[in-house]
Chains A and B, each alone.
Chain A
Amino acid sequence: MDPKSLTTPWSDATVEGLRAGDLVLVSGVIYGARDAAHKRLVEALERGETLPADLRGQLVYYVGPTPARPGQVIGSAGPTTSTRMDTYAPTLLAQGLKGMIGKGYRSQPVLEAMRRHRAVYMAATGGAGALLARCFTRAEVVAYEDLGPEALFRFEVADFPVIVVNDAFGGDLYAEGKKAFSRATPG
């Protein structure tokens, strides 16, 4: 299957053109945030504050990179387990977030919020942090610098390879893929 090359920001139409199992090469700006940054973003919204980044049409990558060596853009930068962001994701989707990149399962409330707000969940290969780091052309901390690897990052990426796991229509690559290859237990 040929990958689709898609530059951010994304519209509803971009999301509606994606199905579970599609390979996508993402280019443009993506934001990096994980547990602690998500907590602060959601708390800021609860206090009625404006977020340090406008999430409309944007993608968030669940990542806590290793420190860059001198001369490098970023260190190792593979995805972290998405489940831990499930508590916060529906709130960010309501802010206009169009996609999330991580690895592993999402909760039902997240999948429902994705359908309601037209968003997509994608996975990058877990552990492939050295390979994925090559797609980063720029990395900077936008907010919450005190959180170290858990800060809110703004990245620029070129042809960042991901696969659609959950689309906005209920498609689920994890369920479909497993069903296709499961066999009766031997013995």
Chain B
Amino acid sequence: MRTIAYQDVADAARRLCIDANVHLGEDVLGLLRSAREREPSTLGRRVLEEILENNRIAAAETVPICQDTGTAFVFVELGDEVRINGGGLRDAVDEGVRRGYTEGYLRKSMVSDPLRRRNTGDNSPAVVHVELVPGDRVRMILLPKGGGAENMSRMTMLTPADGEGGVRAFVIETVERAGPNACPPVVVGVGIGGTFDTVGFLAKRALIREAGERHPDPFYARMEEDLLAAINALGVGPMGYGGETTALDVRIEVYPCHIVSLPVAVNLQCHAARVARAEL
């Protein structure tokens, strides 16, 4: 059994909060650059230029890419041969988030209660998902999830008869309805299958996948590419001013489901598709 200190987990979470909010991944930057080359709309190209310039400034001056530094969504893969010494895993992540958001001059956007709405003042708590995996490593993936795109996300329970066509229509309609509100070009996370509660998680997990990486099943890989083309034919364009870059990527995650069910969730992510990773 390998032992990792509570403080090392907290330190990693702290670092990930700051890194993710200041540096956009090379994978997403690559998609933005190639979109700028292809975009036929003058205003659309102007927006993509601004976004790329914004990312350059954010990294150079250590300023958050976007003022909405989000809910800290943390996906943890915990090795079954690891023990955290000195405290609980979730507490360690929350401590790291509190320190990262305070010491990194990030915006505190969490309220302690959804109706009484008092700001917690330190962006805690994080939303933590823990998956037990074989081995003696801990992998942490942090996604600061902004509210604008999150608010435009949707889920539905289709019937099996709705099939692939029903899923396609729901995904495309969700992106179209979101329009400029979700800060396009967006990354579209799609969850299909499982249950009411798990399908939203599938859609969220799609957002932490490396940009440009297709689903391992060729059926879903093709569906991702078809959906991307259909979404980019909508005309919404960068920031909704019109154009051919409405989405940068579409990613599908699936899970087996009940014979009567076809849950679908679409989790939208703005162009500031921030993700940071650490391994302990």
Contacts and interface: CB of A to CB of B under 8 A. Distances in A.
A binds B: yes
Interface of A: 1, 21, 63-69, 72, 75-78, 80-81, 83, 103-105, 123, 125-134, 148-149, 161, 163, 173-174, 176-187
B241 A177 contact: yes
B69 interface: yes
Contacts of A177: 41, 43, 235, 237, 240-243
B183 A181 contact: no
Interface size class of B (residues with CB under 8 A): 35 or more
A131 B183 contact: no
B75 to A, nearest CB: 22
Contact of B67 (A72, A78, A134, A180): A78
B68 A182 contact: no
Contacts of B183: 103, 126-127
B181 A104 contact: yes
B65 interface: yes
Nearest to A70: B105
Contacts of B230: 185-187
In this complex, the member of A83, A181, A182, A185 whose beta carbon has the largest number of chain B beta carbons within 10 angstroms is A181
Contacts of A149: 67, 107-109
B194 interface: no
- What are the 9 tightest A-B residue pairs by CB atom distance, in nearest-first order? A177-B242, A182-B235, A104-B181, A181-B235, A126-B183, A130-B58, A131-B54, A76-B64, A128-B54
Q: Which of A1, A75, A130 has the most CB of B within 10 A?
A: A130
Given A127-B272, A174-B179, A183 B233 contact: yes
Nearest to A123: B239
A45 to B, nearest CB: 22
B221 interface: no
A149 to B, nearest CB: 5
Contact of B54 (A1, A103, A130, A174): A130
B54 A178 contact: no
Nearest to B229: A186
Contact of A126 (B107, B229, B239): B239
B49 to A, nearest CB: 10
B235 A179 contact: yes
Taking chain A's interface residues, is the majority helix, strand, or loop, or is none over half, making it mixed? loop
Given A75-B67, A131-B57, A178-B236, A105 B51 contact: no
A157 B119 CA distance: 28
10 contacts: A66-B69, A68-B105, A69-B62, A78-B68, A128-B51, A129-B58, A130-B61, A149-B109, A180-B41, A182-B233
Nearest to B180: A104
Given A66-B106, A68-B105, A181-B242, A130 B119 contact: no
A66 B67 contact: yes
B47 interface: yes
Given A180-B242, A185-B172, A78 B66 contact: yes
B91 interface: no
B45 interface: no
Contacts of B43: 21, 163, 177
A104 B241 contact: no
A126 B31 CA distance: 18
Contact of B235 (A63, A77, A80, A178): A178
B181 A127 contact: no
B237 A125 contact: no
Nearest to B241: A177
Given A127-B183, A128-B51, A67 B105 contact: yes
Contact of A148 (B65, B119, B148, B229): B119
A131 B47 CA distance: 12
A185 to B, nearest CB: 5
A173 B180 CA distance: 11
B166 interface: no
B50 interface: yes
B191 to A, nearest CB: 22
Contact of B234 (A63, A65, A123, A182): A182
A170 B235 CA distance: 21
B244 interface: yes
B270 A83 contact: no
